[in-house]
Amino acid sequence: MSTVRARSSSPEAERMRLYRNRRREAMRYVRIPLHVTEVDALIRIGRLKEDSRTDAEVLQAAVLSLLYQALGESEIGREMLRYV
């Protein structure tokens, strides 16, 4: 007879489950504080639209696009992007 464990629904257990999944996938999350002038710069260079300046997901995508561009311009980045 097999035993099926019920998944805990506490917020702490869910956070730990997500953390373990990210580690398994070799993902790391970092927080990056952005000053209003840096958000303005993202808008100025066309990585962000003015009406999205307070949307955290859109800000994340804008910052990641810069990171991917920088990695793509480096030798290590080109090697990494081959596998994406």
> What stretches of the chain show up as alpha helix (H) in DSSP?
11-24, 36-44, 56-72, 75-81
- Kindly state whether residue 74 falls inside one of the protein's structural domains: yes
Per-residue pLDDT of the chain (84 residues; tens, 9 = 90+): 555 555 667 999 999 999 899 889 888 888 899 999 999 999 999 999 999 999 999 999 999 999 988 888 766 555 655 544
In a domain, 15, yes or no: no
Please check whether residue 21 lies inside any domain of the structure.
Answer: no
- Number of structural domains the chain divides into: 1
**What whole-number distance in Å separates Cα of residue 24 and Cα of residue 21?**
5
How many whole angstroms separate alpha carbon 79 and alpha carbon 68? 12
| Cα–Cα distance measured from residue 64 to residue 28, given in angstroms and rounded to the nearest whole number | 13
80 phi/psi in degrees, rounded to 5: -65, -40
pLDDT given for residue 55 in this prediction: 95
What residue numbers bound the domain in which 46 lies? 32-84
pLDDT for 70: 87
pTM more than 0.85? no
Q: What is residue 40's predicted lDDT score, i.e. its pLDDT? A: 97
